[in-house]
Amino acid sequence: MHPRTTTERTTTDALVLGGGIIGLVTAWRAAQHGLRTAIVDPEPGGGAAQVAAGMLAAVTELHYGEQTLLALNIASAERYPAFAAELEEASGQEIGYRACGTLAVALDADDRAHLRELHALQRQSGLESEWLSGRECRRLEPMLAPGVRGGLRVDGDHQVDPRRLAKALVIACERAGVTFHRQWADRLTVVGDRARGAVLADGTELSADQVVLAGGSLSGKLAGVPAEVVPPVRPVKGQVLRLTVPPSYAPFLSRTVRAVVRGSDVYLVPRENGELVVGATSEELGWDTTVTAGGVYELLRDAHELLPGLTELPLTETRAGLRPASPDNAPLLGPTALPGLHLATGHYRNGVLLTPVTGDAMAHALTTGELPDAVRPFTPRRFSALEVLQEQTA
Protein backbone atom coordinates (compact mmCIF):
# COMPACT_ATOMS: atom_id res chain seq x y z
CA MET A 1 0.00 0.00 0.00
CA HIS A 2 1.27 3.47 -0.79
CA PRO A 3 2.05 5.45 2.38
CA ARG A 4 -0.32 8.22 3.29
CA THR A 5 1.11 11.62 2.41
CA THR A 6 1.12 14.33 5.05
CA THR A 7 2.61 17.76 4.66
CA GLU A 8 4.25 19.42 7.64
CA ARG A 9 2.81 22.87 8.08
CA THR A 10 6.04 24.45 9.24
CA THR A 11 8.76 25.19 6.74
CA THR A 12 12.25 24.80 8.09
CA ASP A 13 15.07 27.09 7.02
CA ALA A 14 17.49 24.18 6.62
CA LEU A 15 16.59 20.51 6.12
CA VAL A 16 19.59 18.21 6.48
CA LEU A 17 19.26 14.80 4.83
CA GLY A 18 21.64 12.48 6.68
CA GLY A 19 22.47 12.46 10.38
CA GLY A 20 26.05 11.19 10.42
CA ILE A 21 28.65 13.46 11.99
CA ILE A 22 28.73 15.71 8.90
CA GLY A 23 24.95 16.20 8.83
CA LEU A 24 24.86 16.65 12.59
CA VAL A 25 27.59 19.27 12.72
CA THR A 26 25.94 21.12 9.84
CA ALA A 27 22.59 21.13 11.67
CA TRP A 28 24.15 22.13 15.00
CA ARG A 29 26.01 25.08 13.51
CA ALA A 30 22.99 26.11 11.39
CA ALA A 31 20.75 26.11 14.49
CA GLN A 32 23.35 28.14 16.38
CA HIS A 33 23.11 30.72 13.57
CA GLY A 34 19.38 31.03 14.21
CA LEU A 35 18.12 28.83 11.37
CA ARG A 36 15.12 26.56 12.05
CA THR A 37 16.77 23.26 11.27
CA ALA A 38 15.69 19.64 10.90
CA ILE A 39 17.57 16.38 10.29
CA VAL A 40 16.26 13.29 8.52
CA ASP A 41 17.95 10.01 9.48
CA PRO A 42 16.59 6.72 10.91
CA GLU A 43 19.56 6.47 13.26
CA PRO A 44 21.24 9.84 13.90
CA GLY A 45 24.88 9.46 14.87
CA GLY A 46 25.11 6.04 13.17
CA GLY A 47 26.95 5.29 9.95
CA ALA A 48 30.67 5.58 9.35
CA ALA A 49 31.33 7.33 12.68
CA GLN A 50 30.48 4.06 14.44
CA VAL A 51 33.37 2.38 12.63
CA ALA A 52 36.01 5.09 12.15
CA ALA A 53 39.13 5.13 14.31
CA GLY A 54 39.08 8.91 14.71
CA MET A 55 42.62 9.79 13.68
CA LEU A 56 43.12 13.48 12.97
CA ALA A 57 45.88 12.66 10.53
CA ALA A 58 46.40 15.76 8.40
CA VAL A 59 50.18 15.30 8.32
CA THR A 60 50.63 11.51 8.32
CA GLU A 61 47.92 10.96 5.65
CA LEU A 62 49.36 13.59 3.30
CA HIS A 63 49.41 12.48 -0.35
CA TYR A 64 50.99 13.94 -3.49
CA GLY A 65 48.60 16.16 -5.41
CA GLU A 66 46.42 16.90 -2.37
CA GLN A 67 47.90 20.25 -1.30
CA THR A 68 44.54 22.04 -1.47
CA LEU A 69 42.93 19.38 0.70
CA LEU A 70 45.90 19.62 3.09
CA ALA A 71 45.10 23.28 3.77
CA LEU A 72 41.50 22.38 4.68
CA ASN A 73 42.65 19.42 6.81
CA ILE A 74 45.12 21.61 8.71
CA ALA A 75 42.50 24.34 9.20
CA SER A 76 40.12 21.78 10.70
CA ALA A 77 42.82 20.17 12.89
CA GLU A 78 43.62 23.62 14.29
CA ARG A 79 39.96 24.15 15.17
CA TYR A 80 39.67 20.86 17.05
CA PRO A 81 40.67 21.94 20.58
CA ALA A 82 38.16 24.81 20.66
CA PHE A 83 35.54 22.74 18.82
CA ALA A 84 35.89 19.88 21.31
CA ALA A 85 35.64 22.23 24.28
CA GLU A 86 32.55 23.95 22.85
CA LEU A 87 30.82 20.69 21.94
CA GLU A 88 31.57 19.13 25.33
CA GLU A 89 30.12 22.20 27.03
CA ALA A 90 27.04 22.20 24.78
CA SER A 91 26.33 18.48 25.15
CA GLY A 92 27.67 17.65 28.61
CA GLN A 93 29.54 14.73 26.95
CA GLU A 94 33.27 14.08 26.61
CA ILE A 95 34.34 13.33 23.04
CA GLY A 96 37.73 11.74 23.72
CA TYR A 97 39.85 14.41 22.02
CA ARG A 98 43.40 13.39 22.81
CA ALA A 99 46.50 15.39 21.81
CA CYS A 100 48.63 12.25 21.71
CA GLY A 101 50.58 12.62 18.44
CA THR A 102 51.39 9.90 15.91
CA LEU A 103 54.38 7.74 15.03
CA ALA A 104 54.53 6.39 11.46
CA VAL A 105 57.07 3.56 11.26
CA ALA A 106 58.79 1.43 8.63
CA LEU A 107 59.47 -2.30 8.87
CA ASP A 108 61.66 -2.85 5.81
CA ALA A 109 63.72 -1.00 3.23
CA ASP A 110 60.71 -0.36 0.94
CA ASP A 111 58.61 1.02 3.79
CA ARG A 112 61.54 3.18 4.83
CA ALA A 113 61.91 4.61 1.32
CA HIS A 114 58.17 5.34 1.27
CA LEU A 115 58.39 7.13 4.64
CA ARG A 116 61.43 9.13 3.51
CA GLU A 117 59.39 10.39 0.55
CA LEU A 118 56.49 11.26 2.80
CA HIS A 119 58.89 13.11 5.09
CA ALA A 120 60.26 15.15 2.17
CA LEU A 121 56.71 16.04 1.07
CA GLN A 122 55.77 17.03 4.61
CA ARG A 123 58.80 19.30 4.89
CA GLN A 124 58.17 20.88 1.47
CA SER A 125 54.66 21.58 2.72
CA GLY A 126 55.99 23.28 5.85
CA LEU A 127 54.68 20.58 8.21
CA GLU A 128 56.28 19.45 11.46
CA SER A 129 57.62 15.92 11.27
CA GLU A 130 60.82 14.45 12.71
CA TRP A 131 62.75 11.45 11.35
CA LEU A 132 63.65 8.91 14.06
CA SER A 133 65.86 5.81 13.99
CA GLY A 134 64.34 2.45 14.88
CA ARG A 135 65.89 2.66 18.33
CA GLU A 136 64.42 6.13 18.90
CA CYS A 137 60.99 4.82 17.83
CA ARG A 138 61.21 1.98 20.35
CA ARG A 139 62.32 4.38 23.07
CA LEU A 140 59.06 6.27 22.50
CA GLU A 141 56.93 3.13 22.17
CA PRO A 142 58.66 0.16 23.85
CA MET A 143 56.07 -2.39 22.60
CA LEU A 144 57.14 -1.84 18.96
CA ALA A 145 58.73 -4.78 17.18
CA PRO A 146 62.55 -4.95 17.22
CA GLY A 147 62.45 -4.94 13.39
CA VAL A 148 61.18 -1.35 13.13
CA ARG A 149 63.73 0.42 10.89
CA GLY A 150 62.82 4.05 11.44
CA GLY A 151 59.86 6.35 11.63
CA LEU A 152 58.33 9.79 11.56
CA ARG A 153 57.31 11.46 14.77
CA VAL A 154 54.36 13.77 14.10
CA ASP A 155 53.33 15.43 17.32
CA GLY A 156 50.46 17.37 15.70
CA ASP A 157 48.31 14.41 14.49
CA HIS A 158 45.88 13.63 17.30
CA GLN A 159 42.68 11.61 17.79
CA VAL A 160 39.07 11.86 18.87
CA ASP A 161 36.53 9.11 19.62
CA PRO A 162 34.04 9.25 16.71
CA ARG A 163 31.30 7.38 18.61
CA ARG A 164 31.42 9.87 21.43
CA LEU A 165 31.67 12.71 18.92
CA ALA A 166 28.49 11.50 17.20
CA LYS A 167 26.61 11.11 20.50
CA ALA A 168 27.65 14.58 21.65
CA LEU A 169 26.55 16.11 18.33
CA VAL A 170 23.10 14.48 18.61
CA ILE A 171 22.65 15.94 22.09
CA ALA A 172 24.03 19.35 21.07
CA CYS A 173 21.57 19.40 18.14
CA GLU A 174 18.66 18.47 20.42
CA ARG A 175 19.64 21.19 22.87
CA ALA A 176 19.98 23.73 20.06
CA GLY A 177 16.39 22.99 18.96
CA VAL A 178 17.07 20.86 15.86
CA THR A 179 14.07 18.68 14.93
CA PHE A 180 14.82 14.98 14.28
CA HIS A 181 12.81 12.93 11.77
CA ARG A 182 13.96 9.40 12.56
CA GLN A 183 13.40 7.74 9.18
CA TRP A 184 14.84 7.63 5.66
CA ALA A 185 14.35 10.39 3.12
CA ASP A 186 12.68 8.91 0.04
CA ARG A 187 13.18 11.70 -2.46
CA LEU A 188 14.15 15.32 -2.88
CA THR A 189 11.31 17.69 -3.72
CA VAL A 190 12.08 20.04 -6.60
CA VAL A 191 9.52 22.68 -7.54
CA GLY A 192 10.23 24.74 -10.63
CA ASP A 193 13.99 25.10 -10.63
CA ARG A 194 14.49 24.92 -6.88
CA ALA A 195 14.92 22.30 -4.14
CA ARG A 196 11.98 22.74 -1.77
CA GLY A 197 12.20 19.90 0.73
CA ALA A 198 11.94 16.12 0.86
CA VAL A 199 9.43 13.30 1.03
CA LEU A 200 10.13 10.80 3.81
CA ALA A 201 9.72 7.02 3.77
CA ASP A 202 6.30 7.24 5.48
CA GLY A 203 5.08 9.77 2.90
CA THR A 204 5.49 12.86 5.06
CA GLU A 205 6.38 15.88 2.95
CA LEU A 206 8.77 18.33 4.55
CA SER A 207 9.25 21.75 3.04
CA ALA A 208 12.39 23.82 3.50
CA ASP A 209 14.03 26.94 2.17
CA GLN A 210 17.30 25.06 1.79
CA VAL A 211 18.16 21.38 1.72
CA VAL A 212 21.56 19.90 2.60
CA LEU A 213 22.36 16.47 1.21
CA ALA A 214 24.73 14.89 3.76
CA GLY A 215 24.15 11.20 3.20
CA GLY A 216 27.77 9.97 3.27
CA SER A 217 28.38 7.21 0.73
CA LEU A 218 24.61 7.11 -0.03
CA SER A 219 24.53 10.76 -1.11
CA GLY A 220 24.35 9.89 -4.79
CA LYS A 221 21.37 7.57 -4.34
CA LEU A 222 18.57 9.95 -3.32
CA ALA A 223 15.69 9.94 -5.81
CA GLY A 224 14.54 13.23 -7.27
CA VAL A 225 17.99 14.87 -7.47
CA PRO A 226 18.50 16.22 -11.03
CA ALA A 227 21.23 14.27 -12.84
CA GLU A 228 23.53 17.28 -13.22
CA VAL A 229 23.79 17.79 -9.45
CA VAL A 230 23.93 14.18 -8.26
CA PRO A 231 27.10 14.03 -6.12
CA PRO A 232 29.81 11.80 -7.61
CA VAL A 233 30.47 9.84 -4.42
CA ARG A 234 31.12 6.12 -4.11
CA PRO A 235 31.56 3.82 -1.11
CA VAL A 236 35.02 2.57 -0.13
CA LYS A 237 34.80 -0.17 2.45
CA GLY A 238 36.98 -0.16 5.55
CA GLN A 239 37.15 -3.06 8.00
CA VAL A 240 38.19 -2.08 11.51
CA LEU A 241 38.94 -4.09 14.67
CA ARG A 242 38.61 -3.11 18.30
CA LEU A 243 40.78 -4.73 20.96
CA THR A 244 40.95 -4.04 24.68
CA VAL A 245 44.12 -3.30 26.60
CA PRO A 246 43.57 -4.59 30.16
CA PRO A 247 44.65 -2.08 32.86
CA SER A 248 47.49 -4.40 33.88
CA TYR A 249 49.04 -4.06 30.36
CA ALA A 250 48.96 -0.28 30.30
CA PRO A 251 50.64 1.69 28.93
CA PHE A 252 50.58 -0.46 25.79
CA LEU A 253 50.86 2.43 23.35
CA SER A 254 50.94 6.10 24.23
CA ARG A 255 50.21 7.51 20.76
CA THR A 256 48.78 6.41 17.40
CA VAL A 257 51.17 4.11 15.56
CA ARG A 258 50.84 3.45 11.85
CA ALA A 259 52.70 1.92 8.94
CA VAL A 260 52.34 0.84 5.35
CA VAL A 261 52.87 -2.94 5.36
CA ARG A 262 53.05 -4.73 1.98
CA GLY A 263 51.43 -1.66 0.42
CA SER A 264 48.47 -1.50 2.83
CA ASP A 265 47.86 1.03 5.57
CA VAL A 266 47.60 -0.26 9.10
CA TYR A 267 47.09 1.93 12.13
CA LEU A 268 46.64 1.41 15.86
CA VAL A 269 44.81 4.08 17.81
CA PRO A 270 44.96 3.74 21.62
CA ARG A 271 42.19 5.35 23.65
CA GLU A 272 42.51 6.43 27.26
CA ASN A 273 39.76 3.94 28.25
CA GLY A 274 41.83 0.95 27.04
CA GLU A 275 40.20 0.54 23.63
CA LEU A 276 42.73 -0.10 20.86
CA VAL A 277 41.37 0.47 17.36
CA VAL A 278 43.13 -1.32 14.49
CA GLY A 279 42.30 -0.26 10.94
CA ALA A 280 41.67 -0.36 8.11
CA THR A 281 41.15 -2.16 4.85
CA SER A 282 40.34 -0.14 1.75
CA GLU A 283 38.07 -2.05 -0.63
CA GLU A 284 36.01 -0.97 -3.65
CA LEU A 285 33.10 -3.40 -3.26
CA GLY A 286 30.01 -1.23 -3.55
CA TRP A 287 27.73 -1.24 -0.53
CA ASP A 288 29.05 -4.48 0.93
CA THR A 289 29.79 -4.19 4.67
CA THR A 290 30.63 -7.83 5.38
CA VAL A 291 33.46 -8.40 7.82
CA THR A 292 35.60 -11.04 6.14
CA ALA A 293 38.07 -13.56 7.55
CA GLY A 294 40.61 -12.24 5.05
CA GLY A 295 40.16 -8.63 6.15
CA VAL A 296 40.51 -9.48 9.84
CA TYR A 297 43.48 -11.76 9.11
CA GLU A 298 45.36 -9.12 7.13
CA LEU A 299 44.80 -6.40 9.72
CA LEU A 300 45.92 -8.65 12.57
CA ARG A 301 48.90 -9.98 10.59
CA ASP A 302 50.12 -6.45 9.75
CA ALA A 303 49.40 -5.06 13.22
CA HIS A 304 51.21 -8.04 14.77
CA GLU A 305 54.31 -7.23 12.73
CA LEU A 306 54.34 -3.79 14.32
CA LEU A 307 53.38 -4.85 17.83
CA PRO A 308 53.93 -8.55 18.51
CA GLY A 309 52.31 -8.28 21.97
CA LEU A 310 48.99 -7.39 20.37
CA THR A 311 47.91 -11.01 19.92
CA GLU A 312 47.56 -11.32 23.72
CA LEU A 313 44.75 -8.75 23.78
CA PRO A 314 41.03 -9.59 23.72
CA LEU A 315 39.49 -8.90 20.29
CA THR A 316 36.22 -7.19 21.22
CA GLU A 317 34.70 -6.03 17.94
CA THR A 318 35.01 -6.35 14.18
CA ARG A 319 33.11 -4.01 11.91
CA ALA A 320 33.06 -2.58 8.41
CA GLY A 321 31.99 0.88 7.27
CA LEU A 322 31.83 2.85 4.04
CA ARG A 323 33.92 5.93 3.32
CA PRO A 324 32.20 8.40 0.98
CA ALA A 325 34.87 8.89 -1.68
CA SER A 326 34.84 11.60 -4.35
CA PRO A 327 36.78 11.69 -7.64
CA ASP A 328 39.55 13.89 -6.15
CA ASN A 329 39.39 12.52 -2.57
CA ALA A 330 38.17 15.91 -1.29
CA PRO A 331 34.75 16.84 0.09
CA LEU A 332 31.89 18.49 -1.80
CA LEU A 333 30.65 21.43 0.23
CA GLY A 334 28.08 24.18 -0.23
CA PRO A 335 25.63 25.29 -2.93
CA THR A 336 25.04 23.23 -6.05
CA ALA A 337 23.80 24.38 -9.46
CA LEU A 338 20.25 23.62 -8.24
CA PRO A 339 19.10 26.62 -6.16
CA GLY A 340 18.23 25.59 -2.62
CA LEU A 341 20.33 22.40 -2.68
CA HIS A 342 23.66 22.17 -0.84
CA LEU A 343 26.02 19.26 -0.45
CA ALA A 344 28.09 18.21 2.55
CA THR A 345 29.55 14.88 1.50
CA GLY A 346 32.53 13.14 -0.12
CA HIS A 347 34.81 13.45 2.93
CA TYR A 348 36.40 10.07 2.14
CA ARG A 349 39.21 9.36 4.67
CA ASN A 350 38.84 12.68 6.48
CA GLY A 351 35.26 12.92 7.76
CA VAL A 352 36.16 13.02 11.44
CA LEU A 353 39.06 15.42 10.87
CA LEU A 354 36.96 17.75 8.70
CA THR A 355 33.95 17.88 11.04
CA PRO A 356 34.74 21.29 12.64
CA VAL A 357 35.53 23.11 9.39
CA THR A 358 32.56 21.52 7.62
CA GLY A 359 30.13 22.75 10.28
CA ASP A 360 31.46 26.30 10.05
CA ALA A 361 31.57 26.32 6.24
CA MET A 362 28.06 24.92 5.87
CA ALA A 363 26.56 27.39 8.36
CA HIS A 364 28.24 30.19 6.41
CA ALA A 365 26.88 28.83 3.12
CA LEU A 366 23.37 28.44 4.52
CA THR A 367 23.27 31.94 5.95
CA THR A 368 25.07 33.85 3.16
CA GLY A 369 24.59 31.66 0.08
CA GLU A 370 28.37 31.40 -0.38
CA LEU A 371 31.25 29.35 0.92
CA PRO A 372 33.99 31.04 2.96
CA ASP A 373 36.98 31.88 0.70
CA ALA A 374 39.18 29.09 2.09
CA VAL A 375 36.51 26.49 1.32
CA ARG A 376 35.65 27.61 -2.23
CA PRO A 377 37.93 25.02 -3.89
CA PHE A 378 35.58 22.37 -2.47
CA THR A 379 32.47 23.57 -4.26
CA PRO A 380 30.51 20.70 -5.86
CA ARG A 381 30.53 22.80 -9.03
CA ARG A 382 34.11 21.71 -9.72
CA PHE A 383 32.63 18.49 -11.14
CA SER A 384 30.06 20.18 -13.36
CA ALA A 385 30.93 19.69 -17.05
CA LEU A 386 30.22 23.33 -17.90
CA GLU A 387 32.37 24.71 -15.07
CA VAL A 388 35.25 22.39 -15.98
CA LEU A 389 35.07 23.59 -19.61
CA GLN A 390 35.02 27.26 -18.54
CA GLU A 391 38.01 26.63 -16.24
CA GLN A 392 39.97 25.03 -19.10
CA THR A 393 39.23 27.83 -21.58
CA ALA A 394 39.76 30.72 -19.13
> Is 216 one of the binding residues for ligand GLY (CB under 6 A)?
no
Quick check: 212 and 222 in contact, CB under 8 A? no
Q: Rule CB under 6 A: choose which of 238, 335, 340, 380 binds ligand GLY.
A: 238
Nearer to ligand GLY, 342 or 349 (CB): 349
Q: CB of residue 68 vs ligand GLY: minimum separation in angstroms?
A: 18
> Using CA atoms, how far apart are residues 224 and 26, in angstroms rounded to an integer?
22
> Is 234 one of the binding residues for ligand GLY (CB under 6 A)?
no
Nearer to ligand GLY, 17 or 57 (CB): 57
Report which residue's Cβ sits closest to ligand GLY. Answer: 349
Element containing residue 168 per DSSP (H, E): helix 162-175
Stretch that binds ligand GLY, among 54-62, 108-116, 268-276, 291-299 (CB under 6 A): 54-62
Secondary structure of 326-378 as H, E, C letters: CCCCCCEEEECCCCCEEEEECCHHHCCCCHHHHHHHHHHHHHHCCCCHHHHHH
Question: Under the phi-then-psi rule, with left for phi > 0, alpha for psi from -120 to 50, and beta for the rest, what region is 317?
Answer: beta
Q: Rule CB under 6 A: choose which of 14, 55, 137, 338 binds ligand GLY.
A: 55
> Using CA atoms, how far apart are residues 140 and 24, in angstroms rounded to an integer?
37
Q: Which residues within the stretch 125-144 sit at the binding site for ligand GLY (CB under 6 A)?
A: none
> Is 323 one of the binding residues for ligand GLY (CB under 6 A)?
yes
Q: Rule CB under 6 A: choose which of 349, 358, 360, 375 binds ligand GLY.
A: 349
Tally of CB atoms within 10 A around 152: 23
Query: Judged by CB under 6 A, how many residues of this single chain contact ligand GLY?
Result: 8
> Is 258 one of the binding residues for ligand GLY (CB under 6 A)?
no
CA distance to 37, 107, 120, 272, per residue, from 137 (Å): 48, 12, 19, 21
Q: CB of residue 267 vs ligand GLY: minimum separation in angstroms?
A: 7
Which residues of this protein are in contact with ligand GLY, per CB under 6 A?
55, 57, 61, 238, 279-280, 323, 349
